[in-house]
Chains A and B, each alone.
Chain A
Amino acid sequence: MSEVRTDVRYTASHEWVRLEDDGTVTVGISDHAQGLLGDIVFVELPEVDAEFSAEDACCVVESVKAASDIYMPINGEIVDTNNALVDEPDIINSSPYDDGWIFRIKPVDEEDIEQLMDASTYEAEIADE
């Protein structure tokens, strides 16, 4: 079964979100999501400095099967992207919560994270699928 990390929060569209010590927020996709997508072959990263609202499509992950949008989990500005994914996009398959992180944001309000699902809620959510 897919791993659900307990130290991050989740969106209904399967992004995970982690608040870092410096106040930035790291975003990736869950182990469950990478399993659904299958072998990932291309990532179109967002532009650094771009601003998005929560639930905006901001990035695209393509597997052999299909292209899937990645959604902004909370309002914020992109401050960094994981450039290792340009040449090795399948890191998302092998390490979705660590080396396969996708981008970092500076949140408009870090309290927004509290609105997202905790691990047990997310686990129940994907069990129903």
Chain B
Amino acid sequence: MSQKTALYEKHLQSNGKIVDFAGWQMPINYGSQIEEHHQVRRDAGMFDVSHMTVVDISGDAVTPFLQYLLANDVAKLKQSGKALYSCMLNENGGVIDDLIVYYMNDDWFRMVVNAGTRDKDLAWINQQAAKFNVAIKERDDLAMIAVQGPRGREKALQVLPLDVSQAAADLERFFGADSGEWFVGRTGYTGEDGFEIMLPESEAAEFWDSLIEAGVRPCGLGARDTLRLEAGMNLYGTDMDETTSPLISGLGWTIAWQPAERNFIGRSVIEAEKNKGPQQKLVGLVLEDKGVLRGHQKVIVDGQGEGEVTSGTFSPTLKQAVALARVPVGTGEYCKVDIRGKLLSARVVKPVFVRDGQSCID
């Protein structure tokens, strides 16, 4: 049973090549994934991300609930609209999902979780919520469009409804604002500036058309993946999952260890792991030879052992293969990757390859 977003007909009109993604009929590209990738790096592109799951959490106890549910600490959020990236852990310290949570006011937070994890996330959230005075409401009445790229905000502001445009115009990075049923976050998953815009499904198709008229080009999930990987952003289910802790997934920075008395789910297990010292780490790889890095390729590190590529691709911006890989913690500057039986040389780098259109690789 495959679902369609409110923009499905629009994708067909733009010759979108439709694939099944997490149970949704989504466009993988509209012709050329690489052109769409460059469009976002150089100008403005948009993605239908209506398949993602929006959850509103409200009530008196919403802050203590989220402080218990999430590994990052929502108490850091003091200004209305401020967003926080966090992992939601299980009792073993494995990652149930990664998400963004916006603090709207003391009684209302909005969370955006992955489409592929919707069912288990909602079940988990509701199960944990039983002990708190909070209401959980999935907002499946909202569509979501991510407008990304150096000219994305400027173009989106031209066509947003006036009240929404006014609310969005002065947003700082990683803030969101609502106006009526619309919500705009200055967030994204591409390493470029831009907006993620939530709006009523009934208004989505018309707004999509007006974005096209403003010069924002539709981009598929293929470009979304190469953009996020260049930006060094993890993908749930490939770079981390319920069997991996955030500490070996490059997500240690998202854990709020202070205050020490805050008891969040999974804390005791990952705290013990941290004190003992994690055995692996997530790094960036840049392939020095020709070829393409792909998930599950074996990584060989001299004197340290083996690791694995978690996600890899050909970087359209850098014109060489890049990857995220989980490797032994002692891994130095170089490693080998086994590609179809050949051991190719790769450089180990901080896992950020491109940000705001610029290469981050020496």
Residue ranges of A at the interface with B (Cβ–Cβ < 8 Å): 38-39, 41-42, 44, 60, 62, 64-67, 86
Contacts and interface: CB of A to CB of B under 8 A. Distances in A.
A64 B291 CA distance: 11
B33 A42 contact: no
Contacts of A42: 290-292, 314, 321
Contacts of B226: 64
Contact of A86 (B222, B290, B294): B290
Given A41-B292, A42-B291, A67-B294, 20 more contacts: A38-B29, A38-B32, A38-B33, A38-B222, A39-B32, A39-B33, A39-B34, A41-B314, A42-B290, A42-B292, A42-B321, A44-B291, A62-B291, A64-B33, A64-B34, A64-B313, A64-B316, A65-B33, A65-B222, A66-B294
A60 B340 contact: yes
- The 7 A-B pairs at the shortest CB distance, nearest first, are namely A41-B314, A39-B34, A62-B292, A42-B292, A64-B33, A64-B314, A38-B33
Contacts, number: 35
Contacts of A38: 29, 32-33, 222
Please classify the interface of chain B as helix (H, G, I), strand (E, B), loop, or mixed, using the class held by over half of its residues. mixed
A44 B222 contact: no
Contacts of B340: 44, 60
Contacts of A41: 34, 292, 314
Interface in B193-238: 222, 226
A86 B290 CA distance: 9
A16 B239 CA distance: 38
Contacts of A86: 290
A42 to B, nearest CB: 5
